[in-house]
Structure 1
Amino acid sequence: MSSSRVSKTAYRPARLALAMACALPVTVLAQEATTTASTPATLDAVQVTAQRRVENIQDVPVSITTLDAETLGVLGSGGTDIRFLSGRVPSLNIESSYGRAFPRFYIRGLGNTDFDLNASQPVSLIYDDVVLENPLLKGFPVFDIAGVEVLRGPQGTLFGRNTPAGVVKFDSVRPSQDFEGYGKLAYGSDNMWNFEGAVGGALTERWSARVSALYQRRDDTVRNTLAGAPNDGFEGYDESAARVQFLYEGDGFEGLFNLHRRDLNGTARLFRANIVEPGSNRFRPGFDRETVSLDGVNFSDLETWGGSARLRWDFGRYSLYSITGYETLESLNRGDIDGGYGAVFLPDSGPGLIPFASESADGIPEHKQISQEVRLESNLDGPFDWQAGAFWFREDLTVDSFNYDSLSPGNPQTGHAVQEQRNTAWALFASGEYAATDKLKLRGGLRYTQDKKDFSASVLQAVPFGTPVGGPFFENTDVDDISWDASAVYEFNDDVNVYGRVAKGFRAPSIQGRLAFGGISVADSEEVISYEVGVKADLWDRRGRIGFNLFRYDVDGQQLIAVGGATNQAILLNADKSIGQGAELDLQAWLTDTLLVTWGTSYNDTEIDDPNLAVAICGGGCTITDPTTVINGQTFALVDGNSLPQAPKWIHNLTARWGVPVGDDAEFYVYTDWAYRGQVNFFLYESPEFRGRSTLEGGLRVGTNWNQGNYDLAVFGRNITDSTRIVGGIDFNNLTGFVNEPRTWGVEFTAKF
């Protein structure tokens, strides 16, 4: 694609699930409850660190949803990767064209559909206080996690990198002096095994440690029907991860040290040629999700490891923090991009029209990320408290891109391009909170950021009909920016807080070198101004809790990616402006002393506002509904007024947990969860074939626990209606798409000690 400037049929949703969704307008979170035989069930207070301090979620002037350890365990019970969080909180969408390796996050419609391994995202992922910048790092498995916080809207004052859309923050369970741990083992359909566990305790009076591990595997679920193909089956995986932590607790000093590693061996995203019915977004007749016919090689290998040191000195009225992080990775992901076999100019090809064969791989052979933050925080008795610090970031990476000939024996390599980038950034920041009255608190912050990228790209082996051997070609960017936020929280009464917030976010420029199919493209920095008002309240004597907000944001120079098209290019560009507005609702409630229900909903109305923005259209079979223009003999779509890609207007999620005592020390329970996501555009232009249908996926867990909850045995199902949807596409060759995860059933046993 280029860009330029110019003057099996899806299962219908269960009626019961829809009725519950309509009746209980909230968020996915099974809160721990305070209850005894003689007192009604109530919700515990939720503590968050959204402002880098421990606070009650009701007092924080930010739209936040939290997920606790129990909820995370239920949602991840089928062995799925981090994408299981998609749609499980308001305004959060996660998708991938790489499978388990490369999640792309979207909050309030702001994200990045770029598939390049050098892509930046406007949603920052913070894992144990360390920012994970490369998209391959962001897929680290979710295990032994104390909780997840999803912060919506710009968070550019207190968090380190590229947060104009928001932050997803993970906190691992910390070591302690108490000996404790757990083990969880699940077995399910398609020979799925899922194990995770942790053990920790005191080493000395000052030192403690915790070791956590995860192992997941599943057999191939899709059979390759092409005789003599390099792969017999697809969509199996074998993944392991581990984390070791050491905690030192001294007099006025604390040090928490972390080492972690991930290894993934599995299938790259499985592309399927011509699965879309022309003129619609439904499957072609005869579609079978369990079979494909591919002549390309398919695999996904990823290895990551890293470490961090989080230090805190307590000086009484002041605390000093140091956070040092190191991450590195190595990867190679190879797939059959045309989604079929052969080509139209050969005697045999298919399924459907295959204009030409395409098989490629992308990998990172060298990578390192180093980050350092120093922060001073006040602990004063007066009405004013503050924190200030400095942040430094450095990332060096090399990206290899390969092309192969699927039509020749052995699928030989036919092209090789390489990108190298060095990114250095530093920032100074300060934030303060002032209690103007007993009921009114004011907050504000500033952050100055300087960001520099040095980029080079070369073609080492020419692609047939593509770019010849050449290079290196150089690009660089060097920008600075000031982000800020200002907010107020007013305590209306003991149970109700209202707040308002305005914030400016910033994302540094991006560079991409798709030399095998074009050239280097650069997107300038983008800036976001966000406005938000909301209310947070405890209800019915703390039997319920609600959070509701309205928001609007304006993006100047939003970074977008025009991917695919007839020439299979990926071009970075900036839209003059993008606009988003909507509402978000979180609710948790004990409807009875044995039934806890949560509901989350979000409405996001996004729009590209740029009358002159034109992108090349698809290369095969789609129906363009945008106005078009011809530039140098090529047809372009004018995308002004379109919604942002992968930005659903509606997201709903529901959980319900019902439990009853059995005997003196046991419980029988039923837990169900449902997530709905509205329609989305896969690309910048609009086409019915590349507009994903709405999705509704549900989970069910039935089990019993005993010995004060230390033992649990349950059967579970994920995607229990076996809903099948096209969740992404490739538009340069034919009507190629990929689908969601299949239904999974299993049994799981957990023991805590």
Structure 2
Amino acid sequence: MKIFKKSALSLCVQASIIASVTGFSTSALAAEETTRAKVVGVEVIEVTARKRTENVKDVPISVSALTSKKLEVLGSSGMDVRSLSAKVPSLLIESSFGRTFPRFYIRGLGNTDFDLLASQPVSLIYDDVVLENALTKGMPMFDLERVEVLRGPQGTLFGRNTTAGIIKVQSKKPTQDFDATVSASYGSYNSTDLRLAVGGGLTDTLSARVAFLQQDRDDWIDNKAPGFEQDDQLGGYGETAGRIQLLWEPSDNFSALFNYHFRDADADARVFRANIIKPGTNDLVDDFDREVVYHDAASRNNQTIEMNGSSLKLDYDFGSHTITSVTGYESAEMFSVGDIDGGYGCGITAIPGCDPANMGPGFIPFTSETGAKMPDHSQITQELRLSSNDLGKFDYQVGFFYFNEDLTINNLSFDTLGGGNQNGIAVQNMETTAWAVFASMDFELSDKLNLTAGIRYSDDERVWDGTLVQSPFGAPGFSENATVDDSQVSGDVSVNYRMTDETNLYARVAKGYRAPSIQGRSLLFSASHTTADSELVTSIETGFKSTMLENTARIDGSVFYYVVDDQQLTAVGGTGNVASLLNADKAVGYGFELDSEIWATEDLVFGASLSYNHTELQDDTISVAGCGGGCTITDPINSDGQVIIDGNSLPQSPEWIGNLSARWTKEIGNGELYIYTDWSYRSEVSFFLYESKEFMGDAITEGGLRVGYEWFAGDAEYEVAVFSRNILDEEKLTGAIDFNNLTGYTNEPRFFGVEFKANFF
């Protein structure tokens, strides 16, 4: 795999040239050294959870916000969006693809489906544009203002496929003030992370911001399969991403923001490992070595991604109202192939140098090398919104939303024992068209009490066709087609009571809607497609948001209960490398969330969050296929040999998620020494709809440590730091393959690094 170290350097040079050629205004720079006062106390965080800029304390929704400073710390080891997992209450993120195709879970609701047509109940909104396909949700996070996590159904303002909640990502926007940032880090496995951003005024009415990211890591996993030995064959990546934004403000009441962004990645796909689980337990085998695999197809375990997108946001303020238009276009191409069985097959056929009687952990009963290609993908979105501007005791928003996605997927199979020649292909085409109208109203009932009510009508249609072109087993080809459609009404009602100037109480009832789904990957293995009807979620929650002790402490809390009707589920694996959709009659969930920040002194601040989520499937008729890889199933089996899953928790749904952080600072000279540490915890999870001893992921505790020095010189701020992620080197399963031996994959290894950063104002 190629690692683009040289391109990282050229990227910084190019960005610097762009900054100088375009002539960013530096008139705001002062010649003398700037004195910056130290800020002590809880920061006022503004969010756009209701498509208005508001103090997070005034929003009657369970929401957490991660600011740019914390996001930079979490991503300093080259991590992707998965670095947010367990950093706020009730949020889990995992992936069986590696650095792309993240799967989000909020309050236990998510989708374990790994097909590129998969529908998720957590929506990701990046710079006001919804990213529907799970592949596009892997867009790197860089030069960000904040990330907001909205928990619970968001059926009024955001609509479809938000039954669990929303991840809302906001990048830094252009302003007339000049600023520039450059950071570079180096760490374990020859990892490099280079970031550059520069922004400012080009003219009195035109501002720009340019941001780039380059991340690289060398291969670090050795392949020791006899006949396929190679050191440092897997585990590396090279990734480039960029964003250019132009903000035109010809008058006080009109603005136009243009955004172009791209991603180009060349990486190894997820590394699967055969026979790494002790039978009858969920422990890793005694001789497990994270830096070793036994693969017969490791040389082809690769992944390439290209993404491009643009958006145009127009705002016109005519006094009492503002009209907003957001137009977005996204496109993506992807190819990914993996050694899914995680081993090598010298027990199946003769391989030079391999003794079938002594195959070690790589033994597999049959090979499985599959992949997916997305040669064509496009998404168009349009939102038009009319918002009132402080009319008094009544404000409202009304709007229209349109969505269209068209994509082609090639599901592929390869003959591992025949040198990796392609021996199977199924082609899927799907077009999704959706539209909605919505309205949200805010009433000030008194000086202390506010009421919000919203409603949305959504209409969805998915048109799909699929063809088995070539079967890996020689079966005849065939074609199928399907259409699923539905229309639903969703919405919410909430009240917000200002008990004191420091404490707000709220209650909320919300209904969410997840559109019907189609899954056709099974065509590759001569099985028909499956569909799932719409799922509906009704949620009730109440909570409080409070600052105290003269603004040196903040604590937010919520309790919730929800019911999912016709819960969409994906039965993955079983006895084959397939996935199928089904609906459960009902699922219920309940729990609580706490999020806090405490300034013990002006030099020491603590953060703590905790959530409890109980989920339960309730359908006494539902059953799925059990594992084909020798696991110990703990659920009852019916007369057809299927596993009864009634009463189980939802997959990848931990009961407990917690996070602790602390930052200590000490002024030294013209700067500040700091020590920062953060620790996240998630309790055990089941990887599949059925429960078994082996495929129950153990609890994980991961810690980070960062020690650095920040100082000012003139109109610049500098920082040097050393850091570590997963500092205790926890080795735990985070997912598994259940159709071929006890195959799984693990969390990221311990990482050490050093970083330099400079900010210019």
The reply to whether TM is greater than 0.5 is yes
In the alignment, which residue of structure 1 is the partner of 2:498? 491
State the one-letter code of the partner of 1:659: T
1:185-239 deviations in Å (ceiling 9; x for gaps) = 0011110100111011111111010000000001112111135539751110000
- How far does residue 437 in structure 1 lie from its aligned partner after superposition? 0.5
Write the mapping of 1:480-629 to structure 2, written as runs, cut at 5 A.
480-513=487-520, 514-517=522-525, 518-629=527-638
1:142 aligns with 2:147: no
Q: Aligned residue pairs: how many?
A: 711
> Per the alignment, in what secondary structure is the counterpart of residue 333 of structure 1?
strand
Deviating more after overlay: 350-359 vs 134-143: 350-359
Write the mapping of 1:115-264 to structure 2, written as runs, cut at 5 A.
115-229=114-228, 233-251=233-251, 252-264=253-265
Consecutive unaligned residues in structure 2, runs of 5 or more: 1-34, 351-355
In the alignment, which residue of structure 1 is the partner of 2:17? none
Contact 2:159 2:513 in 1 (8 A): no
Q: Following the alignment from structure 2 to structure 1, what is the Cα–Cα distance between the partners of residues 457 and 391?
A: 29
Q: Following the alignment from structure 1 to structure 2, what is the Cα–Cα distance between the partners of residues 416 and 705?
A: 55
2:747 is aligned, of 731, 736, 740, to 740
In the alignment, which residue of structure 2 is the partner of 1:341? 344
Are the structure 2 counterparts of residues 102 and 37 from structure 1 closer, same or farther at C-alpha, using a change threshold of 3 Å?
closer
In the alignment, which residue of structure 1 is the partner of 2:453? 444
> Per the alignment, in what secondary structure is the counterpart of residue 249 of structure 1?
strand
In the alignment, which residue of structure 1 is the partner of 2:99? 100
1:391 is aligned, of 387, 392, 401, to 401
Are the structure 2 counterparts of residues 601 and 680 from structure 1 closer, same or farther at C-alpha, using a change threshold of 3 Å?
same
Are the structure 2 counterparts of residues 81 and 231 from structure 1 closer, same or farther at C-alpha, using a change threshold of 3 Å?
farther
Contact 2:342 2:362 in 1 (8 A): no
1:328 aligns with 2:334: no
Report which structure shows greater RCO (CA 8 Å, sep ≥6). Answer: 1
State the one-letter code of the partner of 1:289: R
2:303 is aligned, of 300, 303, 306, to 300
1:81-128 deviations in Å (ceiling 9; x for gaps) = 110000000000000000001100000000000000110100000000
Q: Following the alignment from structure 1 to structure 2, what is the Cα–Cα distance between the partners of residues 39 and 147?
A: 21
1:661 aligns with 2:664: no
Contact 2:160 2:512 in 1 (8 A): no
In the alignment, which residue of structure 1 is the partner of 2:286? 285
1:273 aligns with 2:274: yes
> Per the alignment, in what secondary structure is the counterpart of residue 351 of structure 1?
helix
In the alignment, which residue of structure 2 is the partner of 1:459? 468
Contact 1:343 1:350 in 2 (8 A): no
Contact 1:160 1:391 in 2 (8 A): no
1:254-308 deviations in Å (ceiling 9; x for gaps) = 0000000001101100000010000000011211111111111200111101000
In the alignment, which residue of structure 2 is the partner of 1:29? none
1:377 aligns with 2:384: no
Q: Following the alignment from structure 1 to structure 2, what is the Cα–Cα distance between the partners of residues 263 and 681?
A: 33
Q: Following the alignment from structure 2 to structure 1, what is the Cα–Cα distance between the partners of residues 343 and 256?
A: 54
1:433 is aligned, of 442, 460, 474, to 442
Are the structure 2 counterparts of residues 51 and 304 from structure 1 closer, same or farther at C-alpha, using a change threshold of 3 Å?
same
2:694 is aligned, of 689, 714, 719, to 689
In the alignment, which residue of structure 2 is the partner of 1:470? 478
In the alignment, which residue of structure 2 is the partner of 1:750? 757
In the alignment, which residue of structure 2 is the partner of 1:315? 318
Q: Following TM superposition, where does structure 1 have runs of at least 4 consecutive aligned residues deviating by more than 2 angstroms? A: 36-41, 226-232, 343-353
- How far does residue 516 in structure 1 lie from its aligned partner after superposition? 1.4
In the alignment, which residue of structure 2 is the partner of 1:18? none
> Per the alignment, in what secondary structure is the counterpart of residue 137 of structure 2?
helix
In the alignment, which residue of structure 2 is the partner of 1:675? 680
Are the structure 2 counterparts of residues 41 and 416 from structure 1 closer, same or farther at C-alpha, using a change threshold of 3 Å?
same
> Per the alignment, in what secondary structure is the counterpart of residue 70 of structure 1?
helix
Computed over aligned residues only, the root mean square deviation of the Cα atoms, in angstroms, reads 1.4
Q: Following the alignment from structure 1 to structure 2, what is the Cα–Cα distance between the partners of residues 350 and 401?
A: 31
Are the structure 2 counterparts of residues 381 and 619 from structure 1 closer, same or farther at C-alpha, using a change threshold of 3 Å?
same
State the one-letter code of the partner of 1:313: Y
- How far does residue 38 in structure 1 lie from its aligned partner after superposition? 10
In the alignment, which residue of structure 1 is the partner of 2:425? 416
Contact 1:340 1:350 in 2 (8 A): no
> Per the alignment, in what secondary structure is the counterpart of residue 43 of structure 1?
coil
In the alignment, which residue of structure 1 is the partner of 2:9? none
State the one-letter code of the partner of 1:392: Y
Q: Following the alignment from structure 1 to structure 2, what is the Cα–Cα distance between the partners of residues 454 and 242?
A: 33
1:661-716 deviations in Å (ceiling 9; x for gaps) = 002x2100000011001000000000010000000000000010100771000000
Q: Following the alignment from structure 1 to structure 2, what is the Cα–Cα distance between the partners of residues 372 and 651?
A: 36
Write the mapping of 1:4-23 to structure 2, written as runs, cut at 5 A.
none
- How far does residue 351 in structure 1 lie from its aligned partner after superposition? 2.5
In the alignment, which residue of structure 2 is the partner of 1:46? 45
Q: TM-score, normalised by structure 2?
A: 0.92
Contact 1:343 1:357 in 2 (8 A): no
> Per the alignment, in what secondary structure is the counterpart of residue 83 of structure 2?
helix
Are the structure 2 counterparts of residues 385 and 728 from structure 1 closer, same or farther at C-alpha, using a change threshold of 3 Å?
same
In the alignment, which residue of structure 1 is the partner of 2:23? none
1:486-538 deviations in Å (ceiling 9; x for gaps) = 00000111111100000000000010112012220001000000000001111
Q: Following the alignment from structure 1 to structure 2, what is the Cα–Cα distance between the partners of residues 650 and 286?
A: 30
Q: TM-score, normalised by structure 1?
A: 0.93
> Per the alignment, in what secondary structure is the counterpart of residue 365 of structure 1?
strand
Are the structure 2 counterparts of residues 70 and 630 from structure 1 closer, same or farther at C-alpha, using a change threshold of 3 Å?
same
Q: Following the alignment from structure 1 to structure 2, what is the Cα–Cα distance between the partners of residues 596 and 456?
A: 56
Q: Following the alignment from structure 1 to structure 2, what is the Cα–Cα distance between the partners of residues 582 and 343?
A: 49
Q: Following the alignment from structure 2 to structure 1, what is the Cα–Cα distance between the partners of residues 196 and 732?
A: 33
Q: Following the alignment from structure 1 to structure 2, what is the Cα–Cα distance between the partners of residues 345 and 189?
A: 37
> Per the alignment, in what secondary structure is the counterpart of residue 688 of structure 1?
coil
State the one-letter code of the partner of 1:395: E
Q: Following the alignment from structure 2 to structure 1, what is the Cα–Cα distance between the partners of residues 309 and 504?
A: 40
State the one-letter code of the partner of 2:455: L
Contact 1:240 1:264 in 2 (8 A): yes
- How far does residue 733 in structure 1 lie from its aligned partner after superposition? 1.1
Percentage of pairs with the same residue: 52
- How far does residue 344 in structure 1 lie from its aligned partner after superposition? 3.6
Contact 1:341 1:350 in 2 (8 A): no
Contact 2:344 2:363 in 1 (8 A): no
- How far does residue 180 in structure 1 lie from its aligned partner after superposition? 0.8
> Per the alignment, in what secondary structure is the counterpart of residue 644 of structure 1?
coil
2:649 is aligned, of 643, 646, 650, to 643
Contact 2:726 2:749 in 1 (8 A): yes
